[in-house]
Structure 1
């Protein structure tokens, strides 16, 4: 760990002050990674702070000394090597004072202490409302209820309870695995209008039991649970309890168990619900059990177990790694890196103990920041898709919190932070230079620009083969897998009813011709009337004759005849239009990919500088393309009829949704240049990367944002 500098420019502000801890503040020892720490507890406000032994010894000396300076001198006399520096003492006193835990000679009365407490309370309330997605509203004190009912559930928080939990988990997992196909199929109706009330009810009940799990585990190990209320998570009311007293537990295992208690309860509920679901038929019980399984398992894995959010997984990771206040320490470590290596502050202290810990704390800070941004953007897109006005209001609020407020805090830090007194000019200058440089690079420096389009490899030619008329499969002329020429017979059907129809039509034609010749001599008027009947009879005969010719199915194009299932339908009767197989070429393949109308203009007009295609499963090869073209796609669902497709192009539907496309799109076709190492098969999935002229990142981002609004909100 880096040794903190002894002296600090702000020391004169506190050196001659008389400071004491406020009555009601308690201190408990703890051990982290073999080192002793101390937990400072504010019993009145139920808040906890962790400090190191040097800070604890200084607080003890402060209680016996007349001034802060005298307390520091005593600390130096007792343990000069471990004594905190002046900067650390200034920071410690500032944090304790802002939290209303100190009384000093400049305060002197209860009113001032009360004002500090009110200020801290307002700060907490402001912080709650500033975080619009996670607003907490305390309602009751459940501690007495938990104490009275603890004997009823205490036996579950034991080794016997753990064995029961494991057994239920095993049986629940077994039930899901054995019925996986059915379980997966039911996800389609999860967000249906009929199921949403049950899903929401399951969430409310499960989260309530989740919070009671935290409370009972905390009470089991001697902690207090002073608050219970409602948390507006994404504006949805969910219960919460305050089990922060577990932070004072000496054993990290107990602290981790309290943090994991909610997830333990949810996994228990999910296991029981899975067993009920697997052993119940269609009905209300079956549906409710399914909702419980999904809510108590997926929600736990995505949110509660994720350590990048300050939920249960975060506290578990913090306790298991023995890193108190992981997020705050990561933030201070990132700030230390800026101060040490960017501002070159001589008095900067590293909160981490080793270089490895410094790396991982900075990595955690960056990963958590990026994840929160992505999560909030995803939530905004989801909400605004259904409720545009609410989504826009949330976007404004988040822009203020994540853009305006950080800038305001950064300016305040640069302008007034005591830590920068000796380097303020350098810090401000470097920050401005960095901001201008980053903005200049983003706004003016051309960067690589490319466009990706997912698609499907198609053989050229590729033609579906259909039964032109109904009939019984009597002979397979060409076996599946054989190369054929255009017009070559593939299989033969027979239709005895069609033969009878042809015979009847032929006889009808002969009779009509005889009647017309007879009428020519004796009844000219009737002769003329029979002309129309003869025409209809000839057309009917021609139709039946054409259908008989269609009983011999021929190849529509040259290629390989693929019909692996035909051998199993010999002797079966097929209806007209039944797909029999395909004929696909092997010498030429092209990629058929879909591009929205808003994007297609970027690909043409000489803008494409290079194109490469990667085949899924053969990503080590990049195929070149030729003859790049865009074809407007039809939005008529009828074009999905295979008989109306072109040479393999998808016409008319957005395949990702399986429904008619809500906006025009183009089918981009690019013929692939074959490679001997890359094997091409019709139907393979592929991705094309089309390199475009370089543009500044700001231009690319603005275009993407504009297209997002046009596509999702039609603005």
Structure 2
């Protein structure tokens, strides 16, 4: 890392000034990553700043020397290798002055201090409202309450408390593990309308105790908790406390414990709730306990422990790595790389200590930025799915915060940053060129385009075999797994009731013949009515004959007969429509996927260049496709027509087009017929994914189409 220059052109402005730290500012040492640092604490504003030992020694010299120049010369004389350069001194004094921590020989110190405090307050308010979706509203000072109640709960922050915490954790995990199936089953009603009030109440109470956990741990180790209030997390009110005084703790273990205190409390609550849940039946207590388990365990692990968000996990990681202000330091490192390697700004200082630290700070900056974008987009889609108007307002807010504001800051940086002196025009030209190149790349340069669709592998032919009539299963004529031909008998059933009804019908027909002969000579009108009645009996006889024939169930198509469970129910009575098994082919397969009409028009407009299908579990092999077909989803299709025309005597219901659900928007079933491959085993019902390569087109066109489809699918816009 290059050392900044010793001399600075702005030195004459401060050289003869008499300055020192104002009363109330304290400095104490800390060790970060094996090196000594000093923390400057502003007790009045509850703010903390970290400085290096050379800067600390210079501040000490300010107390002894008459002027800034004299203090710098003494520092240079005492430690010529480590003494700060004039530019570093100017920057240090500027930061301390802007923060209202210096007292100088200039008139109006009190006025300047008051103005500095007002400026800091305005900066905090502006920062809060700029971060509208994470707005903090301070309400009370809980420090006195925490002091008074600490003796009652402080004993838990000890080795005994750790033993109790671990014991409850083990019991809680055991309770959930022993009732895991029930635990999973109850998750289906978590977001139900009846449970939402209890869920929200659990969130408020748990997060309140979470924040008090931070406060008590901080107070236990000697820190102050000057502020508690409400944080509007995406307009959802949640409590928060200011435990930033823990930054002054010398032991990083204590700082990390304060950061983890909220999660420690939540895990404790989740453990107790798990024990209560496992020992109660359905009711309010049971439901509340389940809500507490979910919020205090899953929510804690996904959000509070995640270091990519500025919650507890972030501060714990910062303390363990001994890198204060991790996010801002990562941002400064990314800015350093931009200035050094893109703008070619000379004498830029790297905030990182080593190349390895430069790499992982840059990685953290990129990862946290991408994760926050994905999280916000996910929240936006979730909220807009429930409340469309609120979703639109959130989208506008995200657009302003994540596009308009950063662009404004970037323009301000290019126009006013003193670090770009001498390179400002070059930096502006480079930025403009990058924007133009990026815009041209995404809007003009064709890029690979493809369409993916999830589907199900089906054999062709395939038919389900049903009992055509109620009866007793007496014999499986063909064992399961046998290859059969179309029309081959599979199962034989008998029905005593059906046989008796057929016999009674035959007797009725004989009696009717006798009545007809007698009426032919004596009563011609009655003869005509008996003749009509006879025709109805004949129709009934034919229907019963068909039902009897269906008791001998035949294969509707050629293929392999599969019915592994049917042999266990031989002798049992089966109702009409009971599924007996399936017959499926083994030589021809296709993947069926449901696709919207708009996509079908684009796919089948002569644009498909290549199609491949991957089967779940065998992703290493891509199967070729011999043919593609699109069938309206509410249309029975060829197979449906064929199966529905099979005689009911065969006991085949096929795909029963009459029972298919009609979609509210036009969908198509796309069938991709697969080319057989001996290295890939295909079974009816497997999951697969098809990829259709389309003509190349610019990324902007692809993104706009995806966005339009998203709005059409979710919001009917």
TM-score by length of 1: 0.95
Match of 2:200 in 1: 200
Correspondence 1:270-309 to 2 at 5 A: 270-309=270-309
Q: Distance in 2 between matches of 1:547 and 1:358?
A: 81
Provide the residue aligned with 2:422 in structure 1.
422
Counterpart position of 2:669: 667
Structure 1 unmatched runs, 5+: 654-659
Task: Between 230-239 and 496-505, report the one with greater CA deviation.
Answer: 230-239
Q: Alpha carbons of 1:14 and 1:347: their partners in 2 closer, same or farther (altered >3 Å)? A: farther
Rounded Cα–Cα distance in structure 1 between residues aligned with 2:121 and 2:666: 55
Question: Is 1:700 the equivalent of 2:702?
Answer: yes
- C-alpha deviation, 1:69, in angstroms: 4.1
2: CA distance, partners of 1:110 / 1:559: 95
CA contact (8 A) 1:8 1:347 kept: no
Conserved 8 A contact 2:614-2:622? yes
Q: Contact 2:32 / 2:322 at 8 angstroms: preserved in 1?
A: yes
Match of 1:657 in 2: none
Q: Equivalent residues in 2 for 1:141-220 (5 A)?
A: 141-220=141-220
CA contact (8 A) 1:459 1:588 kept: yes
**Aligned counterparts of 2:698 and 2:566: Cα–Cα separation in 1:** 57
Post-superposition offset of 1:46: 0.8
How far apart in 1 are the matches of 2:268 and 2:322? 27
State the alpha-carbon separation in 2 of the partners of residues 185 and 389 from structure 1. 33
Aligned ranges 1:213-362 → 2 under 5 Å: 213-362=213-362
Q: 1:77 to 1:42 in 2, by over 3 A?
A: same
1:686 maps to 688
For 1:427 and 1:155, the matched residues in 2 are separated by: 59
Residue deviations 1:517-539 (CA, integer Å, cap 9, x gap): 22222222111111210111001
For residue 323 of structure 1, report the CA deviation from its aligned partner. 1.1
Distance in 1 between residues matched to 2:42 and 2:659, nearest whole Å: 68
2:635 and 2:657 in contact (8 A); partners too: no
> Is 1:50 aligned to residue 50 of structure 2?
yes
Matched, 1:402 2:380: no
1:368 matched residue in structure 2: 368
Aligned-pair CA distance for 1:18: 4.2
Rounded Cα–Cα distance in structure 2 between residues aligned with 1:63 and 1:398: 48
Q: Distance in 2 between matches of 1:9 and 1:510?
A: 126
Conserved 8 A contact 1:635-1:661: no
1:656 aligned partner: none
- Quote the Cα distance in structure 1 between the aligned partners of 2:414 and 2:14: 22
Q: Describe the shift of the 1:387–1:83 C-alpha distance in structure 2 as closer, same or farther (beyond 3 A).
A: same
Does 518-527 or 80-89 show the bigger shift?
80-89
CA contact 1:458–1:683 (8 Å) conserved in 2:
yes
Q: Deviations over 1:602-657 (max 9, x none)?
A: 21111111111111111110111121121121299xx99x997977999956xxxx
2:506 matched to which residue of 1? 506
| 2: CA distance, partners of 1:519 / 1:558 | 53
2 CA distance for matches of 1:144 and 1:255?
21
- Indicate yes or no: 2:709 matched with 1:676: no
Q: CA deviation at 1:395?
A: 1.4
Q: Specify which of 706, 709, 712 is matched with residue 710 of structure 1.
A: 712
Q: Tell whether the 8 Å contact from 2:136 to 2:230 is kept in structure 1 after alignment.
A: yes
When residues 539 and 303 of structure 1 are mapped into structure 2, their CA distance, relative to the original with a 3 A threshold, is same
In the alignment, structure 1 residue 634 sits paired with structure 2 residue 637: no
CA distance in 1, matches of 2:391, 2:448: 32
Classify 1:539/1:648 alpha carbon distance in 2 versus 1 (closer, same or farther; 3 Å). closer
Deviates more, 1:453-462 or 1:108-117: 108-117
1:358, CA displacement in angstroms?
A: 0.6
Aligned residues: 706
Contact 1:649/1:667 (<8 A) preserved: no
SS for the counterpart of 1:464 is strand
- Any idea what the Cα deviations from partners look like across 1:361-412, whole Å, max 9, x if unmatched? 0000000011111111111111222222222122112211111111111111
Q: Which runs of 4+ in 1 moved over 6 A?
A: 642-651
Structure 1 residue 15, shift from structure 2 partner: 4.7
Answer yes or no: is the 8 Å Cα contact 1:461–1:584 preserved in 2.
yes
Residue-by-residue CA offset, 1:451-505 (whole Å, 9 max, x unaligned) = 1101111111111111101111100100111111111111111110000000011
| 1:236–1:512 distance in 2 versus 1, CA, 3 Å | same
Preserved contact between residue 634 and residue 651 of structure 1 (Cα < 8 Å): no
